[in-house]
Structure 1
Amino acid sequence: MKISKKIYTLIVLIALLYVFKGYVYRVFVKYESIQERKEYSVHNSELISYIENSTINSDLSGIISIIDKSNKLTNEKLKFTSSKCDVDPNKLVNSSKTHCVGYAYFYASTCNYLLKRSKLPVEWKAKAYASKLYFLGVDIHKYFDSPFFKNHDFVIVENSNTGERIYIDPTISDYLGIDSVSIRSN
C-alpha cells in the first residue's frame, strides 16, 4: 500500500507538532500574571500521607526534581471540572475535582511542602497566580462571556535570591503534557 506524498507530509507534520508541542505552546501562548493568589499550607493528614507515600523512593535533591514531582502528584490526584468545586488542597485530596484555580493551589502547596522537606535553600517558593492568556499577542479572555473564562491560574516557582523563575501551568500539564509555560514580556 502506497502512502501519498501529501498524507506522508501531514503525518510527519503532526508527529513533529506532537514532539515539539511544549515549544510551540510557549511560542504562541503567553501568560501575564494579574493577581497573586492566597497561599495554602499542607495540614490535612491524608494529603501529607499522599505526598509522603508518593515520594518515598524519589530523589528530590534539586529544584527541577521537586517541580517535576509536584506536577506528577497534582496530575495523578486531580481531575478537571468546570463546575463549582473546592480549591483548598487539603480538601482536594478527597474530592479530586477542580478547575485551574484548584490545580494551581494544589501544585503550589505540594511544591512548597516538598521544598520545606528538602535540603534546598529556603529562598525557593511556589506561588499561585491568576493570569491573562495571550495567543499571538491577543488577550483570549475578551472572547468569552462566561465569568469562568475571565482569567486562568498558573504557578511561579521563584528563587528570591537569584530572581530565577520557573512558570508552570498544572492544568495544561495534566491535559497536554506541557511542563512549563512562558510569560508575556512587556
Structure 2
Amino acid sequence: MAAKSPDFAPTNRKQALRGRIVVLHAFQMLCPGCVSQGIPQASRIQAVFAERELVVIGLHTVFEHHAVMNADALQAFVQEYGLSFPIGIDQPSTQGNVPLTMQAYGLRGTPSLVMLDREGRIRLNHFGPIDDLPLGALLGQLVAEAPAHADEEGIPDPRPPGHGDGQANAGCDSGICARALQLDS
C-alpha cells in the first residue's frame, strides 16, 4: 500500500492539486545530473500530459553554497533554461544539511523524483536518473487509474469524459484516438 505524502503545499495550492497526479522533481542548480537529465525530463513530462491530469512541481533544494543559491539565482536559472513549471525553494533545516521537504519525503539527494497519485499517495520515490520508458509506463498507469473515492467537496473529476465508464475508447477510429499525445523529439 502506498504511503500518504507529507504536506508540501499551502492549503490553497493543495486544493488546486486535488485529483491530479503530482510529479515532484527535487534538484539543485549545481547538480550535473539535474541539469542534464532531471530538469529536461520534468519539462518533457509537463509538455506531454494535460495539466488537468498531472502537474509537475520543481523543488530547488540546497545542501551547500546557501549564500549564492538564493531566489535571485534560481530566477536567473529558470529563465536561462526556459522552465515553465512551478518551482518552490526547500527550506533549510536548523539541524543538519538536509532541507525540510527532503527530510519529510526521505529523499537522499538530487536529482530525486516523487510521484503522487490522484489520492495524494506516494507511488514513486526515486533517487538519481530514471529512464523515460519505465517512468512513462508508471505515469500512464497513474493517469488510467480511477480515484479511489468520489470527492466529497465537489471538486470536478479531472479525467477526460468516458474514462472509467466503459466509454474509454469513444472518439477512437481504427485504434487512433482523438486525444493522442504529441511527442516532440
TM-score category, normalised to shorter length: under 0.3
Larger helix fraction of residues? 1
Larger strand fraction of residues? 1
